[in-house]
Structure 1
Amino acid sequence: MAQKILIVEDESLVALDLKLILTKAGYRVCGIAASVKEALEIIEAENPDMVLLDIFLKGPLNGIDLAKTLTTKNIAFVYLSANFQESILEKAKSTQPYGFLVKPFREKELLIALDVAFYRHFNSLESKLRQEKALEEVFKKIVKEPGEWRQKLLSVATQLQPYVPFDFISMVAQNNGEFEMDGITFLRVGFDEYQSIGTKELLTISKVTPADFKKMQTATTISAKAELLDLDHLEKTRQKYPIKRLIADTFRLKSCFCFPLLLSNGEIAQFSFYSRKAETYTMDHVDLLNRLQRPLLAAFEAILGNEGLNVVTEAIPKALRENRGKNKPAAFEGIIGKSHQMLSVFDNIAIVAPLNTSVLILGESGTGKEAIAKSIHRLSPRRDNPLVTVNCASLPPTLIESELFGHEKGSFTGATEKRIGKFELADKGTIFLDEIGEMPAELQVKLLRVLQEQEIERIGGRAPIKINVRIIAATNRNLQKEVEEGRFRLDLYYRLYVFPILIPALRERGEDIGDLANHFMAVYSRKSGKNVNQLSPQVLAQLKSYHWPGNVRELEHLIERSVLLASGSEIKEVLMPMLNQKPQNQVAAEENVFKSIEENSRDHILAVLRKCNGRVSGPGGAAEILEVPPSTLHSKIKKLGIKKWTA
């Protein structure tokens, strides 16, 4: 059956042109709407598979307003617009579209965008169904397992963690109209580490008196509907939910998602998920728990039995009160961090690892993208098969196709024997394409075919070769900008962007610096045979105040050097980089010195090479910036005696 597409476009000529193209390509256009109101009527009657959606429409509502409705109905959509202002683009991106088309566009661009959008939507739906089915089975398994009921409730909550992320969770019930605070509450302190926080602990930490706390309890109610709360800005939460406000202030929480369960005995049990990140929760989380409501309720009631949630904190076993995460997967070894940013990364890895979905890892240089790729592979069903790593930036453009896809003997000058490419070596396993933003345009087309057809063709080969490879890609470039400037294919971008994982820069997770430094100190003490096991308070303060442009890699090298220079068991001094800082007498001296043309030329080339991370040729390379042929620049580098240009 032909897929149904709704066109929402207020320019009749553009809409009719779209209809002709789509009909010719085999799609069924189920309607054309010029406003959000018309579109909603057609959606109600036709339930389209895809919507082509102009952003600026007739009437008070625009395409972004309609996109929010489409998201709740799980209908895929692609934006159309002649004008992508940055502010509009940010709002449009927040609705998670399946593609963008800028007017005027060619027929081929439209059909490619639709192909990619249907591919992404299908994979998204398929993975959602698999995830929900898997969660349902896990809930049943938790119920049947032997163990204490409080531990089982924690197990249910932690299974939800990758899908509904939280830094603090409470599970409380309303008994005969009286609010019971002494439910089950946990603070997340690591990937699989949770600490119980009961009334006694909360009063101690918050310095609230029992009498004041009792008043808060009396004023707090359990809502009978799901709610998304912005704890950071909405003052009304202080009056309506004083207990939630107290929890938020005590543990620096900024957003909350409350989800009620109506028990068979008429009581209301409520899960309250809290996050340290503002605007964490969306209607997607509400929809997910609505779909899981029946298995979640069945598990909750089976676990709870006749116990109820009106238990006192002291009854919680010590083992449950403080779970120190002994079950952290070995796959995460070497990835250090307990900040909420890194915990989100761990959760994303846990979600995507069991699937065959392509993954795009984004982050600055030195943030540890390769370590994340290795973790995904080690946690996947492909773990017993190869993980092949390819650095796209380090391969010469003339050799990269042969490296990736292989070649037959005699297929070109110098091909003296048959070569098996990286993709064939990774068959039944995973290939990690690092710095994919550096891949030449002609290779991007062939990679797209690999993703679509799961087959490759050697240079000089006579027939395609079927392969079974999962692709994980990484880049420190802004791929969206690369697409806009024509250096990266839009269709490939969306094929890879099925499941993006953003690795935070080290300066954004300063609370992890101490743990990272201690980890590297232990590693390099062991390697060097020294017993260096402590950082002085002054050194730790220095590390936390630095902005770390080189991220985790820079910190690792600094600690390695400091361990080697340490004279005792404590690192008392570190040689911090003095970027852009020079002694005043040196600055004054330099101002009075005139350099030769050759010296100025050398300095200028060095500066450009550093900016390009040593890359000479290719897009964004030093030759392109200096507007000279790469061969000329190589000759100049040799003539000027430039041998090392990286910092």
Structure 2
Amino acid sequence: MRDKVLIVEDQFIEANDLRLMLEKAGYQVTGIARSVQKAIELIEQEKPSLVLLDIYLKGKLTGIDLAKRLREENIAFVYLSANSNQDVLAEAKATQPYGFLVKPFREKDVLVALEIARYRHEHSLESGFRREAALQKQLAGLVTSAGNWQHTIMKIGVAIQPYISFDLMRGELKEADHTRYSSGFLRIGFNEYQRIDFPEFRVMTGLSMQAYEVLQRSGHTDSIAAFYAGKAFTELCSRDPLKKLVAGYFGMASYLSLPLHLAGGGIFYLSFYSRSADTYTHEHLALFNRLQQALAETIDAALAIKKTPEGAETLKEDPLPPDGNSTRISGFEGIVGTSHRLLNVFDSIAQVAPLDTSVLILGESGTGKERVADCLHRLSPRKMKPFIKVNCAALPASLIESELFGHEKGAFTGATDRRIGKFEQASGGTILLDEIGEMPIELQVKWLRVLQEKEIERIGGSAPIKVDVRVIAATNRDLEKEVAEGRFRLDLYYRLNVFPIQLPPLRERKEDIPTLANHFVSYFSRKTGKKITGISAKVLQELQAYRWPGNVRELEHLMERSVLLAKGDTIRDIVLPDQKETNHATDAPRVKTILENERDHILEVLKKCEGKIWGAGGAAELLNVPPTTLQSKMKKLGIKKEHTL
């Protein structure tokens, strides 16, 4: 007898059809529930391993309400639905189901969906245990006598980044309400962190020693692990002026506090800040509860090592991937920038690239979706196999099926030869289906079956053909809206949306504009044979004030044109499109960000020092920061020495 399945469906005919299908296939149907209350009773009595769950049920409680309980009890479930609006789809997706079945469905669709759900459920548990075991082992091996406690804390951050994302991490040891040790690490690159200790933080924020001590004494501490976002984070900052200062200076929007009670005495607080408001969840608290003993033992051992002198430094680490494999990630060729939103994309790529999981890349036109697909293939075990790209928007609807699946000779008028489709060409490798939102809905059914059953059938063919292909899809459309309006199948959307990667528009990562602009200038200078060495500060300010509706692609084309028109070795003028058409802001002056003001201030000081950074009379001395800190800041803000001339 196969798995025990509970059917939660209030339409008798549909529920009975499902029961007959499942019993014929060898499943044990534990019952049919027409309400959430009845389903709860059957779950307690029968303990099913899988639940087929209709979203819309009669009564006050819906299938989504039941799904939340199933998730807590670790029971796999697949939604049944005829249609869904955007709000319902978003709410259903948040429960993390193991599949969607769209009514009406064929028997094979139901059986395949259950097999996939069972497989994903078992492997998600197994994978989670393996990943956490690897992390526990990694934490235990971090402390060495040659290191120091700050370096170990930074290594903890690097190890935990794939599980608990952060833009700033702080570590503080408190003994009897007195802070003994304190150190922080700001993420400035994919595997690059800048250490910010007490002296550097005071210089950055302009705090006196007395003011800092007052803020620190009035700070809020959590007795248990907790996270704050949105209104809760705003209220936390109003109660804790030091956290408010950190959040305002670095642009943070959420916070996670992990207190660790050490065997050596005192409480060590690991604090994580993120510039995204939705980073931290209850799952992070559950993970911490499982890791707290390993973390406490690692920090206890690290604090036993003699503390090194305070000072800012930039640290680079090559952490092991979650599975313990020591292969280094070589990089993300073709993608330029270090903004926190782009670093989150890098994290996602590194996490999913080694797997065969389908990936859905979402983003506006010009954000670099094809570049991300290139990285996913290049960093995967399939990198030596074919990478086939198909632009669905460029193919006539009548030819898409033939293009993807191929056809036999004589299958239709004009089919004079057998044609091998893109899926067969990509066998063993990867296929990118770009602009997937343009695919006709009648073909979406066939493609869904390819994803589920791993087989295709040529037009005019007599037998299915097994294919081993990793699928990456990309679109600039809002697929949830397309689903709600009936232009995209819900079950296909969910099957693709196993691992979505959302690319930020350029206007949301403006700190990357100087780096991108200089990258394109360098590239087109080499290509054209012109010797362009830089971009003036005035032009960079204009670039950062523009909204970039065409994103990185628009910036690339603009810099190519600017290189061709440049008369000297520096780009001093640029012609931007009429911003009245693209800028939806009012006529009021734009308020500069903290990073833009910081960049302007550093440029002003560098000009005053004629570009000198080190030594007496240098910019680092005037700014009262270590030269290494200033150089790291300049790199992050895209400041080169030629900008000061």
Q: How many angstroms does 1:6 deviate by? A: 5.1
- Which residue number corresponds to residue 617 of structure 2? none
Amino acid at match of 2:243: K
Q: How many angstroms does 1:559 deviate by? A: 0.8
Q: How many angstroms does 1:116 deviate by? A: 6.3
Given the alignment of the two structures, is residue 251 of structure 1 paired with residue 253 of structure 2, yes or no?
A: no
- Which residue number corresponds to residue 132 of structure 2? 132
Any conservation in 2 of the 1:22–1:28 contact (CA below 8 Å)? no
1:599-638 CA distance string (max 9 Å, x none)? xxxxxxxxxxxxxxxxxxxxxxxxxxxxxxxxxxxxxxxx
Any residues of structure 2 matched to 1:11-30 within 5 Å, and which? 13-14=10-11, 18=15, 21-22=18-19, 24-26=21-23, 28=28, 30=30
- Which residue number corresponds to residue 538 of structure 1? 538
Structure 1 residues 288, 47: CA separation in 2 closer, same or farther (over 3 Å shift)?
farther
Q: How many angstroms does 1:174 deviate by? A: 3.4
SS in 2 for 1:332: coil
1:555-608 CA distance string (max 9 Å, x none)? 1111101110111122222222237769xxxxxxxxxxxxxxxxxxxxxxxxxx
Structure 1 residues 291, 365: CA separation in 2 closer, same or farther (over 3 Å shift)?
same
- Which residue number corresponds to residue 189 of structure 2? 190
Q: How many angstroms does 1:470 deviate by? A: 1.0
Amino acid at match of 1:491: D
- Which residue number corresponds to residue 278 of structure 1? 277
1:125-170 CA distance string (max 9 Å, x none)? 4553453344345445545797555334322311221321111011
Given the alignment of the two structures, is residue 323 of structure 1 paired with residue 322 of structure 2, yes or no?
A: no
Q: Report the Cα distance in structure 2 between the residues aligned to 1:3 and 1:146, rounded to whole angstroms.
A: 54
- Which residue number corresponds to residue 201 of structure 1? 200
Q: Report the Cα distance in structure 2 between the residues aligned to 1:450 and 1:7, rounded to whole angstroms.
A: 26
Any conservation in 1 of the 2:86–2:480 contact (CA below 8 Å)? no
Any residues of structure 2 matched to 1:352-371 within 5 Å, and which? 352-371=352-371
Q: How many angstroms does 1:297 deviate by? A: 4.5
Q: Which runs of 5+ in 1 are unaligned?
A: 583-647
SS in 1 for 2:334: coil
SS in 2 for 1:576: coil
SS in 1 for 2:331: helix
Any residues of structure 2 matched to 1:31-430 within 5 Å, and which? 47-51=47-51, 52=53, 54=55, 67-77=67-77, 90-98=90-98, 118=118, 121=121, 124-125=124-125, 127-140=127-140, 142-143=142-143, 147-175=147-175, 177-180=176-179, 182-220=181-219, 222-230=221-229, 234=233, 236-238=235-237, 241-265=240-264, 267-302=266-301, 304=302, 306-307=304-305, 311=307, 314-315=309-310, 321-323=313-315, 329-409=329-409, 411-412=411-412, 414-430=414-430
Amino acid at match of 1:274: Y
Q: How many angstroms does 1:428 deviate by? A: 2.2
Any conservation in 2 of the 1:387–1:432 contact (CA below 8 Å)? yes
- What is the aligned residue count? 569
Any residues of structure 2 matched to 1:548-563 within 5 Å, and which? 548-563=548-563
Bigger shift: residues 196-205 or 27-36: 27-36
Q: How many angstroms does 1:432 deviate by? A: 1.3
Q: Report the Cα distance in structure 2 between the residues aligned to 1:169 and 1:56, rounded to whole angstroms.
A: 45
SS in 1 for 2:513: helix
Q: Report the Cα distance in structure 2 between the residues aligned to 1:548 and 1:453, rounded to whole angstroms.
A: 42
- Which residue number corresponds to residue 587 of structure 2? none
SS in 2 for 1:183: strand
Q: Report the Cα distance in structure 2 between the residues aligned to 1:179 and 1:72, rounded to whole angstroms.
A: 39
Q: Report the Cα distance in structure 1 between the residues aligned to 2:202 and 2:246, rounded to whole angstroms.
A: 10
Structure 1 residues 268, 518: CA separation in 2 closer, same or farther (over 3 Å shift)?
same
Structure 1 residues 467, 89: CA separation in 2 closer, same or farther (over 3 Å shift)?
closer
Bigger shift: residues 293-302 or 207-216: 293-302
Any conservation in 1 of the 2:219–2:242 contact (CA below 8 Å)? yes
Q: Report the Cα distance in structure 1 between the residues aligned to 2:161 and 2:75, rounded to whole angstroms.
A: 26
Amino acid at match of 2:434: D
Structure 1 residues 142, 95: CA separation in 2 closer, same or farther (over 3 Å shift)?
same
Amino acid at match of 1:228: F
Any conservation in 1 of the 2:237–2:244 contact (CA below 8 Å)? yes
Bigger shift: residues 520-529 or 438-447: 438-447
Structure 1 residues 292, 449: CA separation in 2 closer, same or farther (over 3 Å shift)?
farther
Any conservation in 2 of the 1:120–1:498 contact (CA below 8 Å)? no
SS in 1 for 2:394: coil
Instruction: Using CA pairs under 8 Å that are at least 6 residues apart, name the structure with larger relative contact order, 1 or 2.
Output: 2
Q: How many angstroms does 1:365 deviate by? A: 1.3
Bigger shift: residues 442-451 or 427-436: 442-451
Q: Report the Cα distance in structure 1 between the residues aligned to 2:33 and 2:269, rounded to whole angstroms.
A: 41
Q: How many angstroms does 1:36 deviate by? A: 6.7
Q: Report the Cα distance in structure 2 between the residues aligned to 1:42 and 1:265, rounded to whole angstroms.
A: 50
Amino acid at match of 2:376: I
Q: How many angstroms does 1:534 deviate by? A: 2.3
Q: How many angstroms does 1:92 deviate by? A: 4.6
Amino acid at match of 1:555: L
Structure 1 residues 82, 407: CA separation in 2 closer, same or farther (over 3 Å shift)?
closer
Amino acid at match of 1:400: I
SS in 1 for 2:335: coil
- Which residue number corresponds to residue 457 of structure 1? 457
Q: Which runs of 5+ in 2 are unaligned?
A: 320-327, 583-645
Q: How many angstroms does 1:338 deviate by? A: 2.2
Any conservation in 1 of the 2:535–2:570 contact (CA below 8 Å)? yes
Q: How many angstroms does 1:363 deviate by? A: 1.0
Any residues of structure 2 matched to 1:534-613 within 5 Å, and which? 534-578=534-578
Any conservation in 2 of the 1:34–1:58 contact (CA below 8 Å)? no
Structure 1 residues 89, 389: CA separation in 2 closer, same or farther (over 3 Å shift)?
closer
Q: Report the Cα distance in structure 2 between the residues aligned to 1:77 and 1:39, rounded to whole angstroms.
A: 13
Given the alignment of the two structures, is residue 488 of structure 1 paired with residue 511 of structure 2, yes or no?
A: no
Any conservation in 1 of the 2:233–2:253 contact (CA below 8 Å)? no
SS in 2 for 1:360: strand
Q: Report the Cα distance in structure 2 between the residues aligned to 1:56 and 1:225, rounded to whole angstroms.
A: 38
SS in 1 for 2:393: coil
Q: Report the Cα distance in structure 2 between the residues aligned to 1:111 and 1:486, rounded to whole angstroms.
A: 25
1:40-82 CA distance string (max 9 Å, x none)? 66656655434526567756x7665555444444444456789
Q: Report the Cα distance in structure 2 between the residues aligned to 1:4 and 1:77, rounded to whole angstroms.
A: 12
1:266-294 CA distance string (max 9 Å, x none)? 54333211111223211122223334445
Structure 1 residues 132, 145: CA separation in 2 closer, same or farther (over 3 Å shift)?
farther
1:97-129 CA distance string (max 9 Å, x none)? 455678x86787877876665565456445534
Q: Report the Cα distance in structure 2 between the residues aligned to 1:565 and 1:443, rounded to whole angstroms.
A: 47
Q: How many angstroms does 1:497 deviate by? A: 0.9
SS in 2 for 1:273: strand
Amino acid at match of 1:279: D
1:392-444 CA distance string (max 9 Å, x none)? 22233344334333445555555555444322332222111111222234543
Q: How many angstroms does 1:372 deviate by? A: 0.3
Bigger shift: residues 226-235 or 269-278: 226-235
Amino acid at match of 1:18: A
Q: How many angstroms does 1:548 deviate by? A: 1.9
Q: How many angstroms does 1:333 deviate by? A: 1.9
Any conservation in 2 of the 1:231–1:245 contact (CA below 8 Å)? no
Amino acid at match of 1:452: Q
SS in 2 for 1:261: strand
Structure 1 residues 31, 291: CA separation in 2 closer, same or farther (over 3 Å shift)?
farther
Q: Report the Cα distance in structure 1 between the residues aligned to 2:294 and 2:244, rounded to whole angstroms.
A: 30
Structure 1 residues 19, 458: CA separation in 2 closer, same or farther (over 3 Å shift)?
closer
Bigger shift: residues 548-557 or 126-135: 126-135
Q: Report the Cα distance in structure 2 between the residues aligned to 1:436 and 1:351, rounded to whole angstroms.
A: 23
Bigger shift: residues 157-166 or 125-134: 125-134
- Which residue number corresponds to residue 479 of structure 1? 479
Q: Report the Cα distance in structure 2 between the residues aligned to 1:565 and 1:53, rounded to whole angstroms.
A: 62
Any conservation in 2 of the 1:433–1:474 contact (CA below 8 Å)? yes
Q: How many angstroms does 1:339 deviate by? A: 2.2
- Which residue number corresponds to residue 592 of structure 1? none
